[in-house]
Amino acid sequence: MSDEFILEVKNLKKYFLAGRPALFSRTEQYVHAVDDVDLQLRRGEVIALVGESGCGKSTLALTLMGLENATEGSIFFEGRDITHLTDRERKSTRQRIQMVFQDPYESLNPTQTIEEIVTEPLVVHGLAGDHGERQAHVVRALEDAGLKPAEEYMHRFPHQLSGGQRQRVVIASALVLEPHLLLADEPVSMLDVSIRAEIINLLADLRESRGISVIFITHDLGTVGYFADRVAVMYLGRIVEIGSMREVLTDPKHPYAQALLSVIPVPNPRLRRKRMILQGETPNPIELPVGCRFHPRCPVAMNICKESDPRLLPISETHRAACLLLAK
């Protein structure tokens, strides 16, 4: 375990029992939500996890948070194996890994004031002894999250705030615990486009000022470019390409990553690019295709793709992709 990495994920799998194919069938079927994921995150690093809906990126986040139990594999956080912990054992870890959920309209309890929401984590973890100290922490977290002056917001209820303000409250209630790792599960997808940049800038600032590592989950490659150091592209529960932001965005190797990238809108209307529109639907994650799991939709599939399941192959020191084209 090197000290360099804050988070190390090894062969992580998360399967959900989906029932049986027939009423009296003996075999059980599983949804392969996360299927053999390896990931390493350095201190202060921001990694963007990109993929379409249902590719397992949210399940990965929930498993890292310990909100879902991993089926197989291991998760090391700051050198400690946190894969299977009881709630009691996990409590100290919870303080250091915090999560921002997708929908700020759902993730705030409507009956609590903003102050109560942001104070609660401090109380639960027994941080900041007296009332004054606690309040100081809350004010600082709110102002760091861009709600200034904090006093103006503290006594309001969530329904009295806009979507962007709510998401700032969610971020503040994560920040108040001074986490080392922040999991942001599509934190801007429910917000107006005009607000998105503000929230992303906020996360970028926090990373600068507090040195927090961030896993930024999104289905929109367009928002990644702003502040991610590295990008990981997920498809059907597996990382198919991972590399530095520049490498993946300018020179994607996996056909799926190329397709995702080709449909990002470009601000220049005269610039015409060839869009790569994928054919067919995402395969059912219960019965995965044999061979490469992308082959039924892949425009450059070869015969061998139906038989052999590619592993991540190195392209450069930091850039890897799981495509048989690279093996040749």
Partner 1 sequence: MKRYRYLLKKVSWSAFTILFVLILNFFLFRVLPGDPVKAGTHDPRFKKENQEAMRVRFGLDKPVINCFETLNPIKVGDCWINPFETQFFIYIRNLVQGELGISYHTNGPVADILVERLWNTLLLIGAGQILSIIVGILFGLFAAWKARTVIDYSALITGLVTWSLPTFWLGIILLFWGSGHGFPIGGRITPGTSSYPLSYQIADIAKHMVLPTLTYTIVYMGEYLLVMRSSLMDVLSEDYILTAKAKGLSTFQILKDHALKNAMLPIVTIIAINLGFTVAGAIQIEAVFSWPGLGGAVYEALERRDYPVLQGVFLLIAVSVVIANLIADLMYSYLDPRVQTE
Interface contacts to partner 1, rule CB under 8 A: 65, 67, 87, 90-91, 94-95, 98-99, 101-103, 106-111, 113, 120-121, 124-125, 157, 159-160, 170, 173, 177
For partner 1, give the closer residue by CB, 159 or 328.
Answer: 159
What is the Cα–Cα distance from 162 to 169, expressed in whole angstroms?
11
Other beta carbons within 10 angstroms of residue 178's beta carbon come to 14
For partner 1, give the closer residue by CB, 113 or 189.
Answer: 113
What is the Cα–Cα distance from 308 to 314, expressed in whole angstroms?
17
For partner 1, give the closer residue by CB, 71 or 113.
Answer: 113
Q: How far is the CB of 161 from partner 1 (least distance, A)?
A: 12
For partner 1, give the closer residue by CB, 102 or 218.
Answer: 102
What is the Cα–Cα distance from 67 to 80, expressed in whole angstroms?
17
For partner 1, give the closer residue by CB, 25 or 160.
Answer: 160
Query: Which DSSP string corresponds to 270-328?
Result: T------PPPSPPPPSSSPPSSSTTGGG-TT--GGGGT--PPPEESSSS-EE--GGGG-
Q: How far is the CB of 296 from partner 1 (least distance, A)?
A: 33
For partner 1, give the closer residue by CB, 45 or 186.
Answer: 186
Check if the beta carbon of residue 160 is closer than 8 Å to that of residue 132.
no
Q: How far is CA 304 from CA 62, 70, 229, 287, 288, in A?
A: 35, 32, 34, 19, 16
What is the Cα–Cα distance from 19 to 29, expressed in whole angstroms?
6
For partner 1, give the closer residue by CB, 90 or 210.
Answer: 90
Q: How far is the CB of 121 from partner 1 (least distance, A)?
A: 5
Burial of 28 (0-12, 13-18, 19+ CB in 10 A): exposed
The radius of gyration computed from the CA coordinates of the chain, to the nearest angstrom, equals 21
Other beta carbons within 10 angstroms of residue 313's beta carbon come to 15
Q: How far is the CB of 305 from partner 1 (least distance, A)?
A: 38
Q: How far is the CB of 276 from partner 1 (least distance, A)?
A: 34
Q: How far is the CB of 157 from partner 1 (least distance, A)?
A: 4
Q: How far is the CB of 41 from partner 1 (least distance, A)?
A: 18
Q: How far is the CB of 68 from partner 1 (least distance, A)?
A: 10
What is the Cα–Cα distance from 186 to 48, expressed in whole angstroms?
10
For partner 1, give the closer residue by CB, 94 or 168.
Answer: 94
Angle in degrees, 0-180, between the axes of helices 131-144 and 163-175, rounded to the nearest 10: 130
Which amino acid type is present at position 160? Answer: Q
